Amino acid sequence: MIIYRVTGDFPRTERFGLAAQFRRAAASIPANIAEGFGRRTTKELLQSLTIANGSLEEARYYGFLGHELGYINEADYRALEKQCGSVARLMSGLARSLRAKVKGKETPDTGHRSPVTHS
């Protein structure tokens, strides 16, 4: 949630511009993954991971832009980059595993369940 903290410090003039775009891109990452899990086929989950990766790179760019414009300090920018890198590696590993699973099966239907839990 570092993105919400750092964008809260953006100038008011960026409230509906860069800050909003940055937040939307970041929120889109897990939303696309969740949607993919809900689709019930590995092929659709892989497609959702591709879309989520695009959102991740979009958020990464907004972080870079915010840093270049002086809205994000160096420490926060490094933390954002580290977090983006971790998320990218996790998504890549999941996609690689799913592709291997599809190669080994005739039908790509996984019957997987959403990872969301309710307390």
DSSP 31-92: HHHHHHHHT-BHHHHHHHHHHHHHHHHHHHHHHHHHHHTTSS-HHHHHHHHHHHHHHHHHHH
**Would you state the structure tokens that stand for residue 13, as one six-digit string?**
């003039």
The class of domain 2-103 in CATH terms is: mainly alpha
More confident residue, 116 or 26: 26
Q: What is the pLDDT of residues 58-68, one digit of tens each?
A: 999 999 999 99
Identify the pLDDT of residue 113. 53
Identify the pLDDT of residue 101. 85
Q: What is the pLDDT of residues 9-32, one digit of tens each?
A: 999 999 999 999 999 999 999 999
Q: Is the pLDDT of residue 115 over 80?
A: no
Concatenating the DSSP letter of every residue in 7-37 gives HHTS-GGGTTTHHHHHHHHHHHHHHHHHHHH
Average pLDDT rounded to a whole number, residues 36-54: 94
Mean residue pLDDT across the chain: 90
The pLDDT-based confidence of 104 (bands split at 50, 70, 90) is: confident
pTM of the model: 0.82
**Domain spans of the chain?**
2-103
